[in-house]
Structure 1
Amino acid sequence: MSGQVIALSGGIGGAKLALGLDRVLAPGELTIIANTGDDFRHLGLHISPDIDTLLYTLAGLDDPVKGWGRRDETWTFTRALAELGGEAWFQLGDGDLAIHVERTRRLAAGETLSQVTEALRRRLGIGARIVPMSDEPVATRVHTDEGWLDFQHYFVRRRCEPRVVGLDFAGAGEARMAPEVAAAFADPALRAVILCPSNPYLSVDPILAVPGMRAALAGCAAPVIAVSPIIAGQAVKGPTAKMMAELGLEPSAETVARHYEGLIDAFVVDEADAGLAIAGMQIAATPTLMRSLADKQRLARFVLGLAARLA
């Protein structure tokens, strides 16, 4: 079955399913809407961590051990910066620096983030389109027991240690969907929208905070399917379960499913959560842990098959 597919994705967890989708769909059939709430300026550079994770993953350049950054990376710059007393808490590899420098240069020359990302994915030979949720800045801020922290200071500098009491997406109210995002939702050939297994609160909610995004999902004629990032009460990657508990939410697939109620037609859980039932929502169970490329492709085919049955 041919047609267009949209995937909403954050970084590492979402990129795994995005890679599976990219490998099983024909070139040009997949549009990945990337979270840019994590974007920030560091050392004068515009850094887009989730976009870069998607670019590296789909181009086969990602570090399979760390899960972030480029493979075979060297760290001369960061070490030298630390020796000078510079801001070395956010590690920038020598190869990774290139993408930040080039993005910053092109943005300063007047290109939009969408245009820069399109140019980068073409240079890296990626078939899927990768588009930012918005060309306007949206900044995820984390309200903690130590006060407000910018996302990267919470996530990287403080290693998610402070207790989370709330979240804010600064600038979201003034942002607009990137033109390519609106076009993807308006495409009559759209056959599925997939919410990848990214952190619902830190990675997907910033996308949904962009005006028009929730309406586009709720009004979408194609099936909308979310994949749970929680397996048997545990997050596959990152601080999702810890954050949910701190916000007074039970870390479970059901909690995530209910978070998306009104936006999705079906929810995919791991076999460990196969007993889940929610009125008005189709629940489908399958192995969702993605260790290998074969796992990613198998889950992608399962989700696309579910979408075809729902259509």
Structure 2
Amino acid sequence: MTESPGQGGKVVILTGGVGGAKLALGMAHAGLDAEITAIVNTGDDFEHMGLRISPDIDTLLYTLSGKANAAQGWGREGETWSFMDAAKSLGAPDWFNLGDGDLALHVLRTQALRDDRSLSDITRRFAQSWGITMRVLPMTDQPLATIVHTDEGDLPFQSYFVEERCAPIVRDISFMGEADAKPAKNVVAAITDPDNRAVIIAPSNPFLSIAPILSVPGIADALRQTDAPVVAVSPLVGGQAVKGPTSKIMTELGLAHDACAVAEFYGDIIDAMLVDERDDPSIALPEGIVVCHADTLMHSLADKVRVAKAALALADTMR
């Protein structure tokens, strides 16, 4: 597949976690004359030690501003841990670390929420402070929590992901508060904008990062209604997740380790899927979903830009 040249049109990306942040960074550096909106998972958000934490938003902000820890993909580069050392000496829980620099976002976010400012407004101000031009929108301004139902009981996302290190067997996943949640301001308008070139679903964990976004009433319908091609980037490379528990969850939910299973999970909200060239080419996607194979591994910035351009080129073939 050849990459299309840079061109105008708006781009929307649904994202969560490190994989989503990588693709968003690739979009930002792809040399496109386009306005990019990132709609970010907030099902991971929780309160810890009195502070409101938004892990996926913060990962994206750190990544786009060049502050992310390059080795691990999340957290801040050059982070120090004096606060946690002092807190642990006083008996504080130590399963979720708060870095000294990282505290700035959490403290300011918590105070702003107490002052009745929306998460959307807070995130916009953070992005502006760091010179981020991409529009970063939380999926909702209301509380919505991912609950992982496991063989060891029902666990809030961070307890499953960080405290238990994804060890319990997943039986199901649900989203507490989804009935009362509404898309954050501008989310639906961004997805259905008639000037969109494409809507891209990042290679984030479909079950833990993208499904919470889709659970917000109105967002999945907006994806079905948009005139722009909706392209999902498969999170699998050679049938396995590059990072995180995607493969483990697919096994535990009785799903095959292939792009077809991911496409079936997304169903009628997607029009096409970018699949890694290492995947078995004989695996067919559901009828009606266009497929293209490319190298989707993202290590360097050049890799991220390559995948972003490939996803947009696939969308362009459908316009």
Shorter-normalised TM range: over 0.9
Does structure 1 conserve the Cα–Cα contact (< 8 Å) formed by 2:192 and 2:225? no
Q: Does 1:187 align with 2:205?
A: no
SS in 2 for 1:141: strand
User: Which residue does the alignment assign to 1:36?
Assistant: 42
Deviation of residue 28 (structure 1)? 6.5
Aligned equivalents of 1:112 and 1:282: distance in 2?
A: 38
Does residue 240 in structure 1 map to residue 246 in structure 2?
yes
Q: Using the alignment, how far apart are the partners of 2:13 and 2:303 within structure 1?
A: 17
How many pairs does the alignment contain?
311
- 1 CA distance for matches of 2:197 and 2:143? 29
Q: What letter corresponds to residue 244 of structure 1 in structure 2? A: M
Measure, in 2, the Cα distance between the counterparts of 1:219 and 1:25.
Answer: 28
Once the two structures are superposed, the pairs formed by residues 141-180 of structure 1 within 5 Å of their partners are 141-180=147-186
In 1, Cα distance between equivalents of 2:318 and 2:16:
25
Per the alignment, residue 93 of structure 1 pairs with: 99
Taking a change above 3 Å as real, the CA distance of residues 117 and 26 of structure 1, as seen in their structure-2 partners, is farther
Residue pair 1:74, 1:95 contacting (<8 A) in 2 also: yes
Residues 285-296 of structure 1 correspond to what in structure 2 (within 5 A)? 285-296=293-304
How far did 1:104 drift?
Answer: 0.7
User: Does residue 11 in structure 1 map to residue 17 in structure 2?
Assistant: yes
1:132 and 2:138 correspond: yes
Match of 2:67 among 52, 61, 66: 61
**Which range moved further: 60-69 or 200-209?**
60-69
For the structure 1 residues 28 and 222, does the alpha-carbon distance in structure 2 shift closer, same or farther, using more than 3 Å as the test? closer
Q: Which amino acid aligns with 2:314?
A: L
SS in 1 for 2:269: coil
Separation in structure 2 between the aligned mates of residue 30 and residue 294 of structure 1, nearest angstrom: 19
The root-mean-square deviation of aligned C-alpha atoms, in Å, is 1.1
Point out the more displaced range, 33-42 or 273-282.
273-282
Alpha-carbon distance, 1:247 to partner: 1.1
Q: Which moved more, 1:210-219 or 1:268-277?
A: 268-277
Task: Map 1:104-143; keep pairs closer than 5 Å.
Answer: 104-143=110-149
Cα distance change, pair 28–301 in 1 and its aligned pair in 2 (3 A): closer
| 1:129-187 deviations in Å (ceiling 9; x for gaps) | 11000000100011011110110000000100111111110001110011120221232
**Cα pair 1:193 1:223 within 8 Å, conserved:** yes
Partner of residue 275, structure 1: 282
Q: Letter of the aligned partner of 2:207 in structure 1?
A: Y
SS in 1 for 2:268: coil
Identity, in percent, stands at 53
Partner SS for 1:36? coil
1:76 partnered with 2:82: yes
Structure 2: distance between partners of 1:210 and 1:25: 32
Q: What is the CA–CA distance in structure 2 between the aligned matches of 1:11 and 1:25, rounded to whole Å? A: 23
1:174-253, aligned counterparts within 5 Å? 174-253=180-259
Deviations 1:262-285 (A, max 9, x none): 111111110012333222111100
Q: For 1:25 and 1:5, how far apart are their aligned partners in 2?
A: 13
Contact 1:27–1:128 at 8 Å: present in 2 too?
no
